[in-house]
Amino acid sequence: MQNQSLAEATVPVGQPTERHYHKLSEEFYFILEGHGTMEIDGEERSVKPGDAILIPPGACHQITASQTLRFLCCCAPPYSHEDTFFN
């Protein structure tokens, strides 16, 4: 794939990802297992299996697991460390 990347991620119970944003990439999470809270630009929502979350470029985001989360993460353009900014 040249125009997108796909990865599977796991977040252990009680743990958050590090809050970050991407200047160029749009991200899409698809929840496979577990429950948690997704925060995008200060707005929080509960997430569960089957939920799909679109994260626009420039949106600060973080996901926290209340049960171990497993999800697919798709980025377009593809994920790059150089396009990931922590805050």
Query: What's the pLDDT tens digit per position in 25-54?
Result: 999 999 999 999 999 999 999 999 999 999
- Per the structure, how many domains does the chain have? 1
Q: Residue 17: its pLDDT value, please?
A: 96
Cα 52 to Cα 50: distance, rounded to the nearest angstrom: 7
Using the predicted structure, report yes or no on whether residue 11 has a pLDDT greater than 70.
yes
Q: What residues pair up with 32 in beta bridges, in sequence order?
A: none
11-32 residues labelled b (16+ CB within 10 A) or e (exposed):
beeeeebeeebbeebbbbbebe
Q: What is the CATH number of the domain that holds 40?
A: 2.60.120.10
| Domain enclosing residue 23, as ranges | 5-82
Within a domain: residue 87?
A: no
Global confidence as pTM: 0.93
Supply φ then ψ for residue 27, to 5 degrees: -115, 150
Within a domain: residue 48?
A: yes
Within a domain: residue 71?
A: yes
